[in-house]
């Protein structure tokens, strides 16, 4: 017998955190990707502010971490690698799209300068090196941001969002923290260390470039999800804070439901199809004979089942 279905519209904080934790099966690899991909951009800020040397970061930190990650990818591949590689590739594409807008403003209209020669010099210990600077821009900054965005998207569960929300997510990330961090770095830079002079023109042009970068990256994220058919690798497709249409599982009360409504038992011989996350609300008199058939097959007895009484109804969650 089917019953009126009601489910909460938002998941509690512990459930949200639990779902995010489930989507990170290898925390060490996840952290390694985040640190390695974020370092090139953060290191520029460190160099500008005089905190550390870009050359020191690359020689003593970036390259060793890259070697560790390469060993992991070759000898212990993981689904997270696919998301990271897709982010790397789309980060390069997004960076190229940004430069199609930026370079004419630099070399044709002369609205601001090209500071990547100086960045390359910082990385190589010379006064200027445009080749090293643009390698740092594309392989470090652009591709690195792409990796961070794609693996964060896999954890958050962006694959279940519509395209406009996916693009909005990446554009928002490109503006804050990326663009905001760039502007803040220049604002705090000691005299003669700023990447470019902060004025209305550079403010607008840099923001526009990051909006372009974020939009291209968002399109790439959405395309990557469509091509896999099931989104980026993750432990669970559903968002932690979203509520799929509530479904019912086959259960039976332990003893008379009215006499002891707080106790539930599963039929010893039953194995039913249930999802990894299940929210349902039923009255004690409706517990018998309710069925649920969808999702992946597993033994319901292997799932932790908690219950509590709320206003005469039982809230069951696996």
Q: What pLDDT score was predicted for residue 16?
A: 63
Q: What pLDDT score was predicted for residue 250?
A: 41
Tell me the whole-structure pTM to 2 decimals: 0.70
pLDDT higher than 90, residue 231: no
Task: Please count the CA atoms within 13 angstroms of the CA of 213 that sit on its side-chain side.
Answer: 30
Residues 273, 279, 283, 284: is their CA dihedral positive or negative? positive
Burial category of 1 from C-beta neighbours within 10 Å (exposed 0-12, middle 13-18, buried 19 and up): exposed
Mean pLDDT to the nearest integer, 19-25: 77
Percent of the chain at pLDDT exceeding 70? 66
- The residue with greater pLDDT, 227 or 223, is 223
Q: What pLDDT score was predicted for residue 226?
A: 81
Residue 65 near residue 31, CB atoms below 8 Å: no
Q: What is the pLDDT of residues 98-107, one digit of tens each?
A: 999 999 999 9
Q: What pLDDT score was predicted for residue 218?
A: 97
How many Cβ atoms sit within 10 Å of the Cβ of residue 194? Answer: 15
Asked which of 39-53, 112-126, 199-213, 269-283 is least confident by mean pLDDT, the reply is: 269-283
Residue 294 near residue 303, CB atoms below 8 Å: no
Residue 28 near residue 159, CB atoms below 8 Å: no
Cross-strand pairs, 307: 316
């Amino acid at each position: 017998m089917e019953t009126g279905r009601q489910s909460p519209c938002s998941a509690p904080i512990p459930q949200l955190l639990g779902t995010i934790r489930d989507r990170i099966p290898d925390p060490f690899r996840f952290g390694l990707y985040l640190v390695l991909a974020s370092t090139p951009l953060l290191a520029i800020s460190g160099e500008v502010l005089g905190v550390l040397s870009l050359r020191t970061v690359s020689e003593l930190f970036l390259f060793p971490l890259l070697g560790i990650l390469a060993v992991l990818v070759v000898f212990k591949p993981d689904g997270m690698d696919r998301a990271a590689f897709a982010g790397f590739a789309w980060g390069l594409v997004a960076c190229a799209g940004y430069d199609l807008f930026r370079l004419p403003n630099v070399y044709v209209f002369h609205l601001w300068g090209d500071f990547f020669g100086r960045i390359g010099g910082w990385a190589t210990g010379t006064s200027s090196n445009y080749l090293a600077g643009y390698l740092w821009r594309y392989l470090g900054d652009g591709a690195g941001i792409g990796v961070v965005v794609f693996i964060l998207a896999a954890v958050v569960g962006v694959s279940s969002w519509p395209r406009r929300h996916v693009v909005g997510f990446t554009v928002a990330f490109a503006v804050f923290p990326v663009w905001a961090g760039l502007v803040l770095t220049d604002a705090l830079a000691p005299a003669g260390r700023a990447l470019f002079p902060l004025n209305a023109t550079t403010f607008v042009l840099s923001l526009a470039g990051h909006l372009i970068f974020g939009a291209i990256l968002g399109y790439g994220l959405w395309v990557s999800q469509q091509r896999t058919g099931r989104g980026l690798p993750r432990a669970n497709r559903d968002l932690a804070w979203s509520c799929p249409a509530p479904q019912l599982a086959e259960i039976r009360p332990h003893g008379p439901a009215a006499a002891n409504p707080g106790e539930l038992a599963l039929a010893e011989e039953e194995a039913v199809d249930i999802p990894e996350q299940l929210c349902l609300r039923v009255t004690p008199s409706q517990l018998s004979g309710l069925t649920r058939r969808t999702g992946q097959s597993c033994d319901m007895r292997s799932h932790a089942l908690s219950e509590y009484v709320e206003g005469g109804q039982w809230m069951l969650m696996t």
